[in-house]
Amino acid sequence: GHPSYYAPPPPHQHQLHPPPPYGARAPPPPGHPAAYYAPPSAAVYPPQPPPPPTTSNIASSSSSLSALHVSAASSRKYKRIAKYRDNIFFPDGYKKWKRSKHQEHIDGQIHERTKLLLFLDIDHTILHSTRDPRGAHYVKHPLFGKDIFEINFPNQYNATYYIKFRPEFRRMIRELTPLYDLVLYTMGSRAYAEQVAMVIDEHFRQFASDFNSAQAHAQYNRTFIIGNRIICREDHGHISDKEYKKDVSQFAPIETDWCMIIDDTPEVWQNRDDVHRVPKYLFWPNPEKTAPGTNHKHNVDDNSVNNKINIWSKNSITTWGDDKSLLRQERDNVLLQCIELSKCVHECYYAQYTPMNTEVSTAKIFAKIRR
């Protein structure tokens, strides 16, 4: 019964023409010849025999097919994330609280359940996305299909995207959901992030070790691994790529002392030393240069030495139709390292934490482990 978030507005009764589809050009100003909108009648221009097939005709036909594809894509009805609120961190009436009270509440909920917060970047960290139509052939691939999903959301290309999760993501869900509450943090659009969250909640929730546990928190709906714990580009307002910095406080009034962060680009964080850097995961050939649903480049500073080093992960050169090159990406064990590191940080944190000793920091523990 919830109204569609992306439903087009109803046409105005005095409107001569319907609004243009998503991504199409706006209608011309009044007084423009009607021939701009509709083809001329057959009475004015009698039918002519079709021209012989030439290179230009073929290109014109291809453009027409592309236009039809864009028109069909723009009329899609996109699935939106279910209306849901994490009652653990955002209980009824929390909007009337002062920030200090809300922070105290979250502190209590995290430590009462002996958990921490795990912030995960999306693109090139836990998955790789592409809008190349050839990705559709891999959705049911016998080797890779289990980790490949098709998603649709409003984007500047009116394209369908295909996402491939990094190897061992299922194991990460199974071993870390009892220890951490997961939060997605992306440079992409909210519509894109919601699609990824829905895929995780729908297709990976059965791998959570306490999915059917009777000891699960009474207020928490275990059908959600992510739910609406999402931070996206829109949450930062209209800022340039160089001004964009990720900050955990965008999610809620929380302290970095409770947080673990995994990202392929630490440079985009307020404090890069708190971030566990991982090599970029690049499964699909011809990687996208911009974050899905936006025009923002993945690499904020192209002159950064660290970014140049981290552009490609090991064995990342893949080719369409070459399963051997794609199979090499299945040997990626980066998430296994992230799992062990996160478990170690959690164990060390709660080995020191007591109600009387609250000055324990995941950042300090991570720094010691890294040294």
At 25-78, the pLDDT tens digits run: 455 555 544 433 344 444 434 445 555 544 444 344 434 433 434 444 444 556
Angle between helices 334-352 and 169-176 (to 10 degrees): 10
Predicted pLDDT at 37? 38
Q: What is the pLDDT of residues 191-219, one digit of tens each?
A: 999 999 999 988 887 766 554 444 444 43
* pLDDT at site 359: 84
- Average pLDDT estimate for 233-244: 73
More confident residue, 221 or 81: 81
- Write down the pLDDT at residue 17: 45
pLDDT of 246 higher than 50: yes
Find the mean pLDDT for residues 332-356: 93
- Let me know how long the chain is: 371
Question: How much of the chain exceeds pLDDT 90, in percent?
Answer: 31
- 124: alpha, beta or left, given left = phi > 0 and alpha = psi -120 to 50? left
Among 163, 117, 164, CA closest to 258? 117
The first and second tokens of residue 345, run together, are: 């940080």
**pTM passes above 0.75:** no
pLDDT at 358: 76
Give percent of the chain with pLDDT exceeding 70. Answer: 63
Interval 127-134 mean pLDDT: 93
What are the residues facing 118 on neighbouring strands?
A: 182, 260
For the chain, how many helices (H) and strands (E)? 8, 8
